[in-house]
Structure 1
Amino acid sequence: MLQIMRITPFLGVFCLVLIFAPKLQAQDIIPLNKYGKEIKKMEEAYYYKKSFSVEQQQETYHIYGRDYKFTALWIYFKDETGNTTSLLKTNYDSLGNKIRISKQDFTKNYTEIQYLADEKAVRYYITNALGILIEGWIIDGEKTTQVDRVLEKPSFMNQEYFSDFLKKELQYPLYSRRYGESGTILTALHISKEGKLKKIEIVNKETSYDRLVKEAKRFFGKYDGAFLPAQDLQGKPVDGYFIFPLRFVLN
């Protein structure tokens, strides 16, 4: 972890972002499409509230989904001349938990990205202006593993087939329900260059409930669908992995 802090001075900024969704008033919102452009057709829009701090030289957007639920916070930082120097984005899930934090530095042309589970960083990436990975780490407690540099991560060959399989096969362990165990299990799927599932690992095993971890492994161990392999910077298939979050939420 100390290694990451030395590499990136902005990581400390991420940890200080604690935002609570303000109460939304209909007259306060402005329609926004998925590309960040204002539109008039409210039924197709996302919505945002905008504010500006002259003292801190930052422009803030509170982003809401079509159901008016708070989904993201965007903060544009500006220099003394009013030019935008960086953009800090924080994304939230439907329960209000932070799941992704990114900081785009327009002066150095790179972006730092954190993915979170239970408010803790579990993946950390630095990409260039084209979105190509420069450096990356997986964080599991005190253990930090560097990510291989690949242009394309592996993926499910048939997303629809996987979605159907997920609905039919994923089970909520009985005793997990009984004892109120919930959480997100980050499952790292190691895919060979031939598109075969080679290994299943749980990224946040140390901080997750054993029964949920066991079910995640059972589920993916049973999955019989095909995968698309990772590609290197030359477009050749290579061994790689991607992380799929299995969410166990009690109703």
Structure 2
Amino acid sequence: MNKKLLLLLFVVLGNNLFAQDFVPLQDFIPLNKYKIEIKDLDKYSAYYFEQILMDTISEKHSIIYDTLYNIDSEYIIFFSANSKPSERITITYNDSGDTTRLVYTDCINQITTYRYYDQGQKFAEYEYKSHTEISGWVVDEKGEKSTSDVDYYRPRLRVSFKDHAQFLDRNLRFPKDCRRKGIEGNVYLSLKIDSEGKLIGVDVMNPEDVDLSLQHEAVRVMSRYPWDFIPAQDRSGNPVESELKQPINFRL
């Protein structure tokens, strides 16, 4: 592990990597382009590899590498006494090794904080409670800090969440073959949004984990989504192409 990662863990997490319960695991786990584990390498190609550095009853810590084994991101999960996640931390790096984004989730209180970095320096932070923004601030390129009501660095719905949810409820149809067999599942979709806010692609993030009929139905519905999105922006305020995760849950 390089010095940057060690320093990050000590400073950000206050965690001692050399604790007695630290168990290094050397195997690299192949991941697809959405960083989900690949089970059938004959069918799916690896875009990333995961190395688990710690896996105990209280904590799991892993590093994600690209196919050239450059560090792409870092994941830390802390578990409560009942073995459920209590905190999640995701750190994303650029090609130079600088932090570009840190996402911290308080799983118990359902609060998520997004922190954005430029050349390793934090310039914005937004806090959400159950997907609703509750606070935010940003530092402009002149170094002046101000409160901010909107996280411009992520794509957003152009309509209300209520309208969005109603569209899914009214248009999703549980596949008959899955209903007959009692098959349920969660389909995670990646919505590709261009710089104008138009939906230009719908892809299944976890194709190995869910029935094909459920995948087809989720893609069918989102491909007919009637509204545009508000595109993400870079720090200079320019709209950029981005992706938005959309879970589709099928329950009998």
Q: TM-score, normalised by structure 1?
A: 0.48
Q: TM-score, normalised by structure 2?
A: 0.48
